[in-house]
Structure 1
């Protein structure tokens, strides 16, 4: 399984700012062959607490807490490695919708963002503001695509 990047958490120790955790993220899960997700951090309320939050289980589709957030690392393998077949004129089999406002940054590889109407190719450095709409990701390349996402509970 891929190594998830190092996670560094700051806080206050003896009244001074300090690094209180410095380690590889430990909760990486391979949900489907090559689809690796690690929910790096979460908050349970707004405004966010600066105290440590509870660990959260990884899920294939996020379950962002009411009034909370997720910070998620995702490695998306090529579609053929997942056994995903996308047939023209039919909805993508991985189409889904979340009740969140998502800030997504593509770190490496490439990925298609598929909507009910249209699609666009994303490359490293591209940023997606996903506003609770039905969507799917399709990796038609030969390499995994790495993305970081911040998911914020939202309402329509």
Structure 2
């Protein structure tokens, strides 16, 4: 399984800022073959508390805390390696919706963002603002796509 470093530098020692954690994340999970997810950090409220971390379950489809956030690392394998059947003319089997405002950054590889109507190809450096709608990810290449996502609890008007 991929090793993902995490550094938490917001600690205070002897009244000065200090690195309080420099290690590999422990909650890396493979929910589907080769789909690697790690929830790097979360907050339980807004404004966020800077005093502590409340570890959360690492789920395939996130359940962002009410008034909270997730910071999520995702490595999406090529569709052919994912272990789900994609049928022409039918919704993507990984179509889902979360009640969140998501900021997503593609770090490496490429990925199609699929909506109920239309799709777009994403490449490294691309940014997606996902506003609580049905969507799926499709990796039609031969390499994994790595994305970082910040999910913020949201309400529909």
Structure 1 residue runs of 5 or longer lacking an equivalent are none
The equivalent of 2:76 in structure 1 is 76
CA distance, structure 2, for counterparts of residue 83 and residue 36 of structure 1: 13
Equivalence map 1:119-134=2 (5 Å): 119-134=119-134
* Number of equivalent positions: 155
The equivalent of 1:96 in structure 2 is 96
How far residue 57 of structure 1 moved from its aligned partner, in angstroms, is 1.4
TM-score relative to the length of structure 1: 0.96
Paired residue secondary structure (1:149): strand
Paired residue secondary structure (2:39): strand
Equivalence map 1:3-18=2 (5 Å): 3-4=3-4, 6-10=5-9, 11-18=11-18
CA distance, structure 2, for counterparts of residue 30 and residue 88 of structure 1: 26
TM-score relative to the length of structure 2: 0.96
The root-mean-square deviation of aligned C-alpha atoms, in Å, is 0.9
CA distance, structure 1, for counterparts of residue 114 and residue 63 of structure 2: 21
| 2:110 equivalent to 1:115 | no
Structure 2 residue runs of 5 or longer lacking an equivalent are none
Paired residue secondary structure (1:113): strand
How far residue 83 of structure 1 moved from its aligned partner, in angstroms, is 2.5
Deviations 1:92-113 (A, max 9, x none): 1100000000000000000000
